[in-house]
Amino acid sequence: MDWQIELAGIPAPSNREQERAQWLKARFAEAGVSAVETDAVGNVVGILPATNLPAESTGPVVLLSAHLDTVFPASTPLHPVLVNDCLQAPGACDNAAGVVGMMAVIHALLHASVQLPAPLVVLGNVGEEGEGDLRGVRHFYEHNALAGRVAAHIALDGAGADAAVTQALGSRRFRVTITGPGGHSFTDAGTPNPIAALATALAQLAETALPEEPRTTLNLGTMRGGISVNSIPESAEATIDFRSTDSNQLVRLEVALHRAVEDAVEHWNAWSKVSGVDSRRRLAFEIAKIGDRPAATLPGDSALLAALRAVDRHLGLNTDLRLGSTDANLPLALGVPALSMGAGGEGGHAHTVHEWYSPKNRELGLKRVLLLALALLEWAAEQ
């Protein structure tokens, strides 16, 4: 809990996790983790070596990770408070609980001098939340020399001791920007208005039919533009989020978005011609993809899933398999057995300034993570 209080007091919005990464790098070094380094995007990586394998071994490894970033802007007041064993702070659970849970497992293994049959790679990664777009794990799997050796990946995210995310919810996120010449609301009346065009596009997109199965969602997240009530804006911007368990649905919605924006801009440009506005004073648009999380599922016959169920039986837990959007999306899409799970305890009001974490039953969750990691290390050594 001391670690957790300290960590929750360090701001770490996505893409600005440097201070928290420095904290974790120091904790890794104190614990005795080997080959600790910070990579090009800010991930902190280290290794607990296999006991009887040479350092130059190229065999399978197991990856244990936890994301460092939070959803909160750097300006968010962070004043962690412990009240009756309940930690109250933005990010106290997501993901301070996951990071210190990883630290607990590392210390348990090293303190007990456990003989590891295969290397355990530990990763404090950046860019899991929001527009971070899985930047940290994406970089690890694209650039780290260990990536091709990962036999299984456990991502620790938040609290809980009886669930695991084994089905990766795919998402695609876009920023739409419509620009125009702008002007005075009276003297330049008739000039095409980016806000009007954007509103038209979003209204059309919002009417797109969505299937119940596979479950697919569409969210218009933000909209902004203009400088005053009596000015025709020069630009308008919106962000849109699509989610589905089926990548084909994400493609369909992306096509619908492009069609809606193109139709709206064409409509308002044509309207300005009718209104007698100079044809050079036209609207233009840009659609930028700002997030792409692949959809995937851990196969039912996976050794990772079999090990999780065995551990849960041993601990008297019922395995609850869930759908979610986590760091496990990326390895699952690459064919690497992966899941995301809690690091024990309880939490609530995630992604709000009222977030809280209770260590109630944390020990059970940490036993679950530890036993699963050990089972996978034994399995990896046999591959």
pLDDT tens for each residue of 147-164: 999 999 999 999 999 999
Predicted confidence at residue 281, as pLDDT, reads 76
Q: How many residues does the chain have?
A: 383
Number of neighbouring beta carbons within 10 Å of residue 84: 5
The whole-model pTM stands at 0.90
> Which residues partner with 243 through β-bridges?
171, 217
CATH 3.40.630.10 maps onto the chain at 2-168+296-381
CATH 3.30.70.360 maps onto the chain at 170-293
Confidence of residue 346 (pLDDT cuts 50, 70, 90): very high
Cα distance between residue 84 and residue 357, in whole Å: 11
Predicted confidence at residue 278, as pLDDT, reads 62
**Mean pLDDT, residues 359-383 taken together:** 97
Q: Which residues of 48-60 are buried (b: 16+ CB within 10 A; e: fewer)?
A: bbbeeeeeeeeeb
Nearest CA to 130 out of 12, 237, 235, 210 is that of: 12
Contact 262, 178 (CB under 8 A): no
The domain defined by 2-168+296-381 carries CATH number 3.40.630.10: yes
Rounded to 10 degrees, the C-alpha dihedral 362/364/367/368 comes to: -110
pLDDT tens for each residue of 53-98: 887 789 999 999 999 999 999 999 999 999 999 999 999 999 999 9
The domain defined by 170-293 carries CATH number 3.40.50.2300: no
Predicted confidence at residue 160, as pLDDT, reads 96
pLDDT tens for each residue of 182-216: 999 999 988 999 999 999 999 999 999 999 999 99
Nearest CA to 87 out of 20, 2, 11 is that of: 2
Cα distance between residue 19 and residue 42, in whole Å: 10
Predicted confidence at residue 356, as pLDDT, reads 98
State the pairing for strand pair 150-156/81-83.
unpaired
